Amino acid sequence: MITAENLTKRYGSKTAVDGISFQLAPGKVTGFLGPNGSGKSTTMRMAVGLDRPTTGSITIGGKPFAAHKAPLRTVGAVLDAGATHPGRTGRSHLRVLAATHGISAKRVEEVIELTGLGEAARKRIKGYSLGMNQRLGIAAALLGDPAVLIFDEPVNGLDPEGVRWVRSMARQLAVEGRTVFVSSHLMSEMSQTADHLIVLGRGKIIADAPIAELLSSEEHRVLVRTEQTADLANALTTSGVNIEHLDAETLQVTGLDPRSIGRRALETNIVLHELTPQHSTLEDQYMKLTGDHVEYRSGGQKQEKQEAAR
């Protein structure tokens, strides 16, 4: 269980995380979604004590991370694929970490196999690709077989097979009753991995809900094809229903479900060629949620500057 209470982090005049509170339950993959610079990594770093909160707190199982007797068995974290000494081999990096908790060499070999590092574990880390570094980071996180896993952008640099592996691993770890906290700025990634989403924008939580709830909050949109668009539009016109003519034979209806549209068409003897519910994607929802909370946009200018220039 990870609990953040009124968590704030300021760097000088810049507020990276702005009084956020949340609670992550075990048995779920919780996605931490937000644009670049929204405060995801800072929050995760505070969770494992790398950064000190300016105010508020973040605890693991009711205690600060440093207060746990066996930190590696409590939390496995992948915060930065480059958090290793390039001169060491992958195996030596894992052994060095294992030594702190008396974790056996056998377990080191297990995580090497589990993460597919294999022969690469004998090589110096400076020769690793980003993907291999990610696998090494995940191996280190799994070393203590911990109850809580914190992954900051774990699929960065992985090949498609690696991405699928991370997804299924995150799901499996949650099924085993662990708390899995995964950050990403990729909406598509979260939609395939997470059960619950916390969306962050400019250091503040702008959504904290199950993915299904976020998706269902969007109004029904239905694509309808018929040669009698004018008649159908007349038949469907009631308050709360919005009809948009996309082309001569296509309407987009908002505010009515497909069954009601089909029934109304039958009653008025209108032939339908297509009746397709339009599902809102997580990406649509994400763009809607974060639209006003993006700090950095393409072109490298800060939003405030762009707004000031308008």
Partner 1 sequence: MTPNLNTATATPPKTFQVDPTLPGVSFLGTFRSEFAKLKALRTSWWLSILTIGLSAFIAGSVAISYQRFSDEFPSSALDVAVQGQTGSYFAMILLGALGVIAITTEFTTGAIRSSLTAVPRRTTLLGAKALALVAWTGLTTAIMMLLSHVLAAVITDPLGLGDIVTDGEIALMYAKTWLVVVLTALLGFGLGALLRSSAGGIVVLASILFVVQIVLSILYGVTNEAAWVETLIKLEYMNLVDGFINEPSQYSFFPALETGPALLGLLGWTAVPVALGWLSFTRRDS
Q: How far is the CB of 66 from partner 1 (least distance, A)?
A: 4
Q: In this structure, what token pair is assigned to residue 34?
A: 């937000």
Query: CB-wise, 68 or 264, nearer to partner 1?
Result: 68
Q: How far is the CB of 170 from partner 1 (least distance, A)?
A: 14
C-alpha separations of 268 from 84, 150, 275 in Å: 70, 57, 16
Query: CB-wise, 100 or 301, nearer to partner 1?
Result: 100
Specify whether the CB–CB gap between 147 and 74 falls below 8 A. Answer: yes
| CA 149 to chain CA centroid, nearest Å | 14
Query: CB-wise, 147 or 265, nearer to partner 1?
Result: 147
Q: How far is the CB of 135 from partner 1 (least distance, A)?
A: 14
Q: How far is the CB of 13 from partner 1 (least distance, A)?
A: 16
CA 271 – CA 284 distance, rounded (Å)? 31
C-alpha separations of 44 from 101, 149, 184, 186, 239 in Å: 22, 11, 12, 17, 47
How long a stretch of residues is the chain? 310
Q: How far is the CB of 73 from partner 1 (least distance, A)?
A: 5
The CA R_g of the chain, rounded to the nearest whole Å, is: 24
Binding site for partner 1 (CB under 8 A): 25-28, 45, 48-52, 65-66, 68-75, 77, 79-80, 82-89, 92-93, 95-97, 99-102, 140, 145-147, 175-178
Query: CB-wise, 66 or 308, nearer to partner 1?
Result: 66
Is the torsion defined by CA of 79, 83, 88, 92 positive or negative? negative
Q: How far is the CB of 59 from partner 1 (least distance, A)?
A: 13
Candidates 114, 181, 186; CA nearest to 151 is: 181
Query: CB-wise, 38 or 74, nearer to partner 1?
Result: 74
Query: CB-wise, 195 or 284, nearer to partner 1?
Result: 195
